[in-house]
């Protein structure tokens, strides 16, 4: 009887994701490379292009989505049927995060099984609308949540975020290897903090080195989706809860995010076509 209940509960959670066309995870091998900022702005860029988009903050230990999307502290998702969470909406994008469910100052001192369970619940018990894309902002690294996601749902692909420096590239390789082992397509690489342009003199400098994203792209045979600058406007707008794509549509960084989403959609179309079953037609002579 208990086994039957567990199977039914798991089926219900999977059913809640059936109305999502594509699930994309945005991942990095290490923290501090701007993965969450990239995930949020890519979600907003897809929305600007007329897509129906949701974003799930899967970083249980350090959820940043509430701040980045400008959701007021203390705002909670509506609970339906004493079980399901209705996602919040910000900037035209559906959102859910552990940060909506706990106090921001609460330290999540949980072991791996608790983290795993919490992630599966927030993934499967959210009542997403009919979405074209669900962006999953992954925690850094290659741990339990990454494995749980790949085992729980069919992913359309992963976007790997890195900076040009060698230490970030080293960890980005681990992320690529993980997704390849579990047969998740790598949609491409985003090189963040690629260069910095001085606001006073206009001098452009590659503070963290150069060419790292290109080397990684060649090494693994995956596309370099784009480069993003180390720009104060990106940081400040995100900290205000009004990310650059939403607040400064004509900013060069916003245009870069839009171009990256165009390449992501093109890559998804390629992956989808390659996985399509062949059609056999029989005609009489």
Threshold 0.95, pTM exceeds: no
Q: Quick one: the chain helix, strand, coil %, rounded to 5?
A: 40, 20, 40
pLDDT in tens, 222-238: 999 999 998 889 999 99
DSSP H helices, the chain, are 2-15, 35-48, 65-68, 112-124, 144-152, 166-181, 212-220, 232-239, 244-247, 252-275
pLDDT in tens, 89-129: 999 999 999 889 877 766 666 677 787 888 888 888 999 99
> Mean pLDDT across the stretch 245-266?
95
Q: Which of 33, 24, 102, 29 is nearest to 62 (CA)?
A: 102
**Cross-strand bridge partners of residue 135:** 24, 55
Confidence label for 7 from pLDDT (cuts 50, 70 and 90): very low
CA distance 172 to 179: 11
Q: Is the dihedral of CA 141, 146, 148, 151 positive or negative?
A: negative
The angle subtended at Cα 57 by Cα 100 and Cα 148, nearest 5°, is 120
Indicate the SS3 state at residue 261: helix
pLDDT in tens, 38-71: 999 999 999 999 999 999 998 887 889 999 999 9
Chain CA centroid to CA 101, Å: 20
- Structure tokens given for 10: 């798991």
Q: What is the pLDDT of residue 5?
A: 45
Q: What is the pLDDT of residue 9?
A: 47
Classify domain 10-271 at the CATH superfamily level.
Answer: P-loop containing nucleotide triphosphate hydrolases (3.40.50.300)
Domain ranges of the chain: 10-271
The backbone torsions φ and ψ at residue 279, rounded to the nearest 5 degrees and listed phi first, read -105, 130
């Amino acid at each position: 009887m208990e086994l039957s209940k567990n199977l039914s509960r798991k089926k219900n959670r999977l059913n809640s994701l059936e109305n999502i066309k594509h699930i994309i995870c945005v991942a990095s091998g290490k923290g501090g490379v701007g993965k969450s900022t990239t995930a949020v702005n890519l979600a907003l860029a897809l929305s600007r292009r007329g897509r129906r988009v949701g974003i799930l903050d899967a970083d249980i230990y350090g959820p940043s989505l509430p701040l980045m999307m400008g959701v007021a502290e203390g705002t909670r998702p509506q609970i339906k049927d004493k079980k399901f969470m209705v996602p919040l909406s910000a900037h035209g994008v559906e959102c859910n995060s552990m940060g909506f469910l706990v106090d921001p100052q609460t330290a999540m001192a949980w072991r791996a099984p608790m983290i795993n369970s919490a992630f599966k619940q927030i993934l499967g018990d959210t009542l997403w609308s009919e979405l074209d894309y669900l962006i999953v902002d992954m925690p850094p690294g290659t741990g339990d949540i990454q494995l749980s996601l790949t085992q729980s749902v069919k992913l359309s692909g992963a976007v790997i975020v890195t900076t040009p420096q060698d230490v970030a590239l080293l960890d980005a390789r681990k992320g690529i290897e993980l997704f390849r082992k579990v047969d998740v397509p790598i949609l491409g690489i985003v090189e963040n903090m690629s260069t910095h342009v001085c606001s006073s003199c206009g001098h452009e400098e590659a503070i963290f080195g150069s060419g790292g994203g290109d080397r990684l792209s060649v090494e693994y045979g995956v596309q370099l989706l784009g480069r993003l600058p180390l720009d104060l406007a990106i940081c400040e707008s995100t900290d205000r809860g009004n990310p650059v794509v939403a607040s400064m549509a004509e900013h060069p960084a916003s245009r870069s995010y839009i171009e990256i989403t165009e390449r992501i959609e093109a890559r998804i179309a390629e992956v989808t076509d390659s996985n399509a079953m062949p059609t056999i037609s029989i005609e009489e002579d």
